[in-house]
A = this chain, B = another copy of it.
Amino acid sequence: MNFHFEVLKTDSTGARLGRLTTPHGVVDTPAFMPVGTAGTVKGLTQQALGELGVQILLGNTYHLYLRPGHERIRALGGLHKFMSWPGAILTDSGGFQVFSLAELRKISDDGVVFRSHLDGSEHVFTPEKSIEIQQALGSDIAMVFDECIEYPADRERAAASTKRTTEWARRCRDYARAQSASGRTNVELSSNPGQSLFGIVQGGMHADLRREHARQLVDLDFPGYAVGGLAVGEPHALSCEMAAIATEELPKDRPRYVMGVGLPEQLPDYVRCGVDMMDCVLPTRNARNGCLFTSAGRVNIRNAKYADDPRPLDERCSCMVCRTYSRAYLRHLFHANEILASILNSHHNVAFFLDTMGKIRQAIALGVLAEFSSEFQARIAAGEP
């Protein structure tokens, strides 16, 4: 079986311990997925990702389409082979980047005309085009093409956009099904014939729209569902409320993925909304700016107070960086603008997110997620180590 999801346990908070089977291995859920925008998780070798225990990572359709090009990746055997990554890959639809990075030229029910942020060249993404690209990339999980709206967006705007996103989701599903039924060979069609397609629940911060949209997507019968349009500037409590409303409507036997979240201390909250998968650029992006996540809160490693500090970054962390290097050394590397600063900072931050998710899974298994969450969040709130 190429794709299979099993809920092993659900606790009293609604948190789920699960196991997602993909054509490229098993993913223990709840899972944190590092972001590998252009076919690399910035600052980490694939060897390091393996050592960190990464089971699934993200690729960005928009970026890979523009450079090096999806047809090139298809010809080279798909994204797994191109980047030499044996684990699972989820690709986004390109929607989020088209609406946030590119210069928009025209949005219609058909799709989006935009200019590349790299060279200004004009391109068109339609639901069908997004699936075609993702099939060329050969990810294990593809996402439907969705419209991503700004925050805040009023009810009328959100309702119109959600309607469009439902229609686009249907077109994505139908295109993917038609391709599967076309009898074309795998190489022509997709680098990964076992690819699954997830729907995305939108609806802005409007509870009724979220509910309605979730039901519409359930009617379209996807093997998994994401909740999109969160972490766009809204308060964290509202974000969780929207996630919880959406998951209430989603079938219990399908994986749920909240896109683009979150801070480490927020991860348990989403899990308690019944979320199984999350991704976020924060660990790698912040790492490159010297912002490090620790069990006692965020550390700005640029700070002068670390110049002579022989201690590991996080004494509770057992990652390669914390086992090997001092705060003084990490600070020096950052100030000397050394590549190793980005490497080690990224390594630690990704390790910290993965470790947090591992502890969450363990807490669910032991039935102590509430206790874990409050202790974990209190320690982070207490401030710098």
Contacts and interface: CB of A to CB of B under 8 A. Distances in A.
A75 B308 contact: yes
A83 interface: yes
Contact of A325 (B84, B307, B326, B332): B84
B45 A343 contact: yes
Nearest to A45: B343
A308 B40 contact: no
Nearest to A320: B47
Interface string A28-49: 0000000000111011111100
A43 B308 contact: no
Nearest to A48: B45
A326 B78 CA distance: 13
Contacts of A333: 39-40
Contacts of A72: 307-308, 328
A329 B82 contact: yes
A327 to B, nearest CB: 10
Q: Report the copy number of this chain in the oligomer.
A: 2
A68 B324 contact: no
A339 interface: yes
A308 B46 CA distance: 20
A340 interface: yes
A342 interface: yes
B47 A324 contact: yes
8 contacts: A40-B336, A40-B338, A40-B340, A45-B343, A46-B324, A67-B336, A84-B326, A339-B343
